[in-house]
Homo-oligomer: A and B are copies of this chain.
Amino acid sequence: MSVITIERKVLEKNDEIARENRALFADHGVFAINMVSSPGAGKTSILERTLERLRETLRIAVIEGDVQTDLDARRVAKYNVPAVQIITRGGCHLEANLVRDALANLDLKECDLLVIENVGNLVCPSNYDLGEAVKVVVASTTEGDDKPLKYPAMFRNASVLIVNKIDLLPYVNCNIGDLKANALKINPSLTIFETSCTNAQGIKEWCGWLEKRAKK
């Protein structure tokens, strides 16, 4: 019981800091997204394609969350956008206080869009609000079409689903219709994009949505 109590306190404290982050983003007119997925679904690759396309029209900053290494922040830094790496050292998700600390290294006055890339984990990050405007879940076709049913919390709490690696459909055991139907069964209000970072399919549509939301 004590564990549950303390976990609840941790979540309450997290939600409190998330509200502060959210207020800070609102004050500065920053549109913040929290990208979540399994490891290797393609969050960083989608981010790279997004930076290529939008960095001239939007001022973008990035917070990278990883269990270990700064490999992702280095990939992002090549696009000349401000990037902060959070290394959780074993932690399975980002929390609002880690994002708050990272914000100390970013100038929100010079930012329209903040992309927070969470730790690759389809379970734990679903419980932790970071103060983002929307949670974007990335699911790869290579993971199969049953994942929304097996990991429902993440799909329930997201506003956007990006089905990535759409170019691999001919080679994998994934029915795209079933995948989307399963996702919509869990969360009927999901906005869905289908993308490939290899052939750029769907990147224009995703970036169009993002630009529109960030310029509101």
Contact = CB atoms under 8 A, between A and B. Distances in A.
Interface residues of A, number: 40
Interface of A: 2-3, 6, 10, 38-41, 45, 66-69, 71, 90, 92, 119-124, 140, 142-144, 146-147, 149-153, 165, 167-168, 171-173, 198
Given A121-B122, A123-B92, A147 B10 contact: no
Contacts of A120: 38, 122, 150-151
Given A67-B152, A172-B168, A143 B90 contact: no
Contacts of A153: 67, 90
11 contacts: A6-B6, A39-B143, A40-B140, A41-B143, A69-B146, A71-B150, A90-B153, A92-B123, A120-B151, A124-B124, A171-B171
Given A10-B3, A168-B168, A69 B142 contact: no
Contacts of A144: 40
A39 B149 contact: no
Given A6-B6, A68-B151, A120-B150, 20 more contacts: A2-B6, A38-B40, A38-B143, A39-B143, A40-B147, A45-B173, A66-B150, A67-B150, A67-B153, A68-B149, A69-B149, A71-B149, A119-B123, A120-B151, A121-B121, A121-B123, A123-B124, A140-B142, A165-B172, A168-B168
